Amino acid sequence: MYPETTPGTTQPDAAMSDAEAATEARRIIADAYRPTAYRDDTPVPVHGDTPPVAQPGRPPMSQGATDASVLMLAGGTATAMVGGTAAVLMYVSQFADPLVCGLVFGTPTALVLALARLATKAKPAPDIHQHYTGPVHQDQRNVHTTTRGVWAKTHNQQ
């Protein structure tokens, strides 16, 4: 009459009780919402054998190098704008003195760059807070290390 059915399924004509119908409905819903993909949420290790890959944009560099390059770009842009303005003014006026224009337009740029350099060197020294319990001997020495040569020889000087 009906072909063989798999366990857990019922034949269409068979009457089901409410409990069986609820169980069958839960099974059908669970089968419909079964995940078809798996995502591995384990954390990725911080380091490994694969070298880092440079991302598009600015090349990777230290914070100091980044700050210096931004300062150089800003100084170059300011110089180009001031020089362009001076060139346009001399061309339009047809009698502007290049020396006077250089002094008038170059002084603000030189002043801004000098103030920026002074401001970067005027940073206060960081406060060092060290809290100890018990007797402590603290030795703060500066060691200057120099390594040179094909067969490296290191000299540590205090």
Place of tokens 């960081």: 126
Task: Give the model confidence (pLDDT) of 37-63 as tens digits.
Answer: 777 888 877 777 777 777 787 777 888
Task: Give the model confidence (pLDDT) of 73-104 as tens digits.
Answer: 998 898 888 888 878 887 888 877 778 777 77
Confidence tier at 24 by pLDDT (50, 70, 90): very high
Confidence tier at 21 by pLDDT (50, 70, 90): very high
Q: Is the pLDDT of residue 16 over 70?
A: yes
Task: Give the model confidence (pLDDT) of 110-129 as tens digits.
Answer: 888 888 888 777 777 778 88
Query: Which pLDDT score is estimated for 116?
Result: 83
Q: Are 103 and 129 in contact (CB under 8 A)?
A: no
Q: Are 107 and 115 in contact (CB under 8 A)?
A: no
Q: What is the mean pLDDT of residues 65-70?
A: 86
The residue extents of the domains of the chain are 69-121
Cα gap 144→158, rounded to integer Å: 6
Specify the higher pLDDT residue, 27 or 62: 27
Cα gap 12→19, rounded to integer Å: 16
The percentage of the chain sitting over the pLDDT mark of 90, rounded to a whole number, equals 6
